[in-house]
A and B are shown apart, each in its own frame.
Chain A
Amino acid sequence: MINRLKILLLIGLFFVTFCVNTVFAEEILKLATTTSTYETGLLDYVFPAFEKKYNVKIHIISVGTGKAIKLGENGDVDVLLVHSPEVEEGFIREGYGLNRKTIMSNNFIIIGPKDDPACVRDLKNVKNALKNIARTQSIFVSRGDDSGTHNKEKFLWSKAGIVPQGEWYLESGQGMTQTLVIADEKNAYCLTDRATYLFNRDRLRLVKLLEEDNDLENPYSVIAVNPHKHSHIKYKLSMKFIEWITSSYCLRKIENYKKNGTTLFVPFRTVLNIKIL
């Protein structure tokens, strides 16, 4: 009996010492972002340099843009990296956000089955593509989660004058990668951001069908949460972060993040340069 108690005590002691070492010395910056930037590994590639330079730990909370914006409104995070321009503008107008900077683009594309039953491949604009998909009742998988991509999709459907519903229209309610996997299993059409598609292309059968249309632009912005709304927000630190991420050093780093030799997120400075040339 005594021996057993001793063993129990030892186990207990071991766990207590093991539990105590959770104190962090560094300052913490909380960032809410979208699934596309996180699941493609971009942030894990770019952020360590910032963390090292300023002795900061960035806590990344990866959710859809809708939820990320909500986290900002509630003051649960210090800074946002999101991609839904209209929602972002509302966020700023209502005084929740400051210092919005658009840093990179990751255009949307429409992917679908190789045999392309809705004949999307030969089209030049999204409106007609969506009309074809709806008319032929080809299966289409939507995010259905109020993310930036989902907002874009809803906007595109309304522009095409279609209310998507029926057995062919599936809402996954999940992140982009998972939605791509579902679309692939169902051999369906899907609106996705280019980076997430390229990152997962090796394991997908679906092919890129349509990409060049102004309606498919997808800019990403950083926004600092307004400290006047929530006094605990680390505004100085998030401004430092925004300054850093818009620096040419960081933009070059973003450009260098490649999968199979292709840049996933195109930083804005180069985009502008190309346009000027």
Chain B
Amino acid sequence: MNYIIDGLKEALKIIFTMDKEFISIVGVSLRTSFIAILLAGIFGIPLGTWVGIGKFRGRGFMATILNTLVSLPTVVVGLTFYSLLSRRGPLGELGILFTPAAMIIGQFVLALPLVAAFSMGGVRNLGDRPFIAARLLGAGTLRSSILFFKEARFIVMTSMIAGFGRVFSEVGVSMMLGGNIRFYTRNITTSIALESSRGAFSLGIALGIILLMIAFVINLTLYYFQSK
């Protein structure tokens, strides 16, 4: 029992002294996940909207595919991109295996279907009426789209945050594509995995606390926007 309490004490110390290693780990996590989710939003939200309210054949099938890909296992994405990005693979020339860029690519692929599926569900409820109304009032396509997404801003936020939660807490992609390199690609989850295999709990607990706190802050922000 004692080692748990000691671990907890040590964890608080790590957080409050802003330990260099700790800061680097949290920074890597935030950086890669943030860029990945930004990219996933840029591609995923229009994609989801298109599948959600577009009028074309095979829409239902597309929606099913998106919903299936939401439960894509992280290790499958990891393994696939590992074989693609390895020097022997077709994308080996890029030389980005075991770099943050590789982690971002993997996390982007993980988040994309989730963001798209979430915004698909959301805009379906909203319907295309805001868009058509704007057009009728004389706005161009671009302006109507902007107005539409203003109307759908809560949906956009929710899907981005859901995606962020997924990539921020995953370990498979980060481990396989990042390689868990200290001060470079070691993030919160790969570090916790390493610490537990090393049998050192304190840094793991500290990181777990931070992981939860960041999730809390994000949801608080969401709640703030929602209640307005």
Contact = CB atoms under 8 A, between A and B. Distances in A.
Interface of A: 4, 15, 18-19, 22, 30, 35, 39, 44, 57, 59-62, 73-76, 174-175, 177-178, 181, 200, 203, 230, 232
A179 to B, nearest CB: 9
B153 to A, nearest CB: 9
B184 to A, nearest CB: 6
Contacts of A74: 86-88, 92
Given A22-B100, A74-B88, A232-B87, A61 B198 contact: no
Contacts of B179: 59, 61
Of the listed residues B92, B179, B184, the one surrounded by the most CB atoms of chain A closer than 10 A to its CB is B179
Contacts of B30: 15, 18
Contacts of B184: 57, 59
A30 B182 contact: no
Given A174-B197, A181-B199, A15 B34 contact: yes
7 contacts: A59-B179, A61-B180, A74-B87, A74-B92, A175-B197, A230-B87, A232-B87
A19 B34 contact: yes
B181 interface: yes
Contacts of A75: 87-88, 92
Contacts of A178: 197
B87 A177 contact: no
B96 to A, nearest CB: 11
B216 interface: no
B182 A4 contact: no
A76 B31 contact: no
B100 A44 contact: no
B98 interface: yes
A242 to B, nearest CB: 20
Contacts of B225: 4
A22 B35 CA distance: 12
Given A15-B34, A60-B182, A39 B95 contact: no
Interface residues of B, number: 23
A200 B97 CA distance: 32
Contacts of A76: 86-87, 97-98
Contacts of A4: 225, 228
A177 B97 contact: no
Nearest to A71: B86
A61 B181 contact: yes
Interface in B150-186: 179-182, 184
Contact of B182 (A39, A44, A73): A44
A177 B98 contact: no
Contacts of B35: 19
A118 B215 CA distance: 51
A61 B185 CA distance: 10
Interface string B26-54: 01001100110000000000000000000
B87 A59 contact: no
Contacts of B95: 232
Nearest to A176: B197
Closest 4 CB pairs of A and B: A75-B87, A61-B179, A74-B88, A59-B181
B34 A200 contact: no
Given A4-B228, A39-B198, A174-B197, 5 more contacts: A18-B27, A19-B34, A59-B181, A200-B199, A232-B87
A57 B27 CA distance: 18
A19 B31 contact: yes
A177 B100 contact: no
A192 to B, nearest CB: 14
A76 B95 CA distance: 8
Contacts of A61: 98, 179-181
A220 B86 CA distance: 26
A44 B184 CA distance: 14
Given A4-B225, A15-B34, A203 B88 contact: no
Contacts of A60: 181-182
